[in-house]
Amino acid sequence: GESVGLHLPTLSVQEGDNSIINCAYSNSASDYFIWYKQESGKGPQFIIDIRSNMDKRQGQRVTVLLNKTVKHLSLQIAATQPGDSAVYFCAETDLNDMRFGAGTRLTVKP
Amino acid sequence: KAGVTQTPRYLIKTRGQQVTLSCSPISGHRSVSWYQQTPGQGLQFLFEYFSETQRNKGNFPGRFSGRQFSNSRSEMNVSTLELGDSALYLCASSLWQGGEQYFGPGTRLTVT
């Protein structure tokens, strides 16, 4: 899984811009991937998921892209809003274990 | 529908003590998973329960244990607490094993 450090990567964007948050995973057997959003003082909140038989999935203002060749996952947020400010985690699972990325802190400037 | 609830929300214990944390899943959800979140290690999977049976277990020592009751409520127990056990303990429930998870607010445990 991800190596997890003390300092979260950060991404700062202007309100209205698009955001792209990236995640690399290590287990080629992982077949289910999830993005979570965690606001300060709260538990993670499900955003969108994708199974390994897909390479793209769209939700409301969010898109997840999966590149199994390079074991890379990305989350795209369209028209980012101040309420999107949070820490975003990717998670990978092969149904026996779930591994989380370190997270990326997204800050949206008004 | 009420969300996942965890009690207590905050807890302070001393080294060597033991602690029990409680999680009530969303009504109808039968799977409960526990996670530990620390600044240094991030989110780490502890274990998952479904139909009162532990289905999966993460890489944690035997001091960490859990159980699930017939009403799907779950408890986790940590014995012989160490300073490094200080963390936010998150519980998540889902309809079935491997389903979309809904997280509770967590219990923040501080070991002194």
**Interchain contact, A89 vs B43, CB within 8 Å:** yes
Q: Hey, is B83 helix, strand or coil?
A: helix
Closest Cα in chain B to A37: B103
Selection from B88, B89, B92, B87 nearest residue B103 by Cα: B92
pLDDT tens across B26-42, in order?
A: 999 999 999 999 988 88
Q: Which of A34, A43, A101 sits opposite B105 (nearest CB)?
A: A43
Q: What is the pLDDT of residue A4?
A: 36
Q: Hey, is A62 helix, strand or coil?
A: strand
Distance from chain centroid for Cα A27: 16
Task: Give the Cα separation of A75 and A105 in Å (integer).
Answer: 13
Q: What is the DSSP code (8-state) at residue B71? A: T
Q: Which of A42, A96, A99 sits opposite B105 (nearest CB)?
A: A42
Structure tokens at A102: 């370190």
Task: Give the Cα separation of B46 and B51 in Å (integer).
Answer: 17
pLDDT tens across A50-105, in order?
A: 999 999 999 999 999 999 999 999 999 999 999 999 999 999 988 677 888 889 99
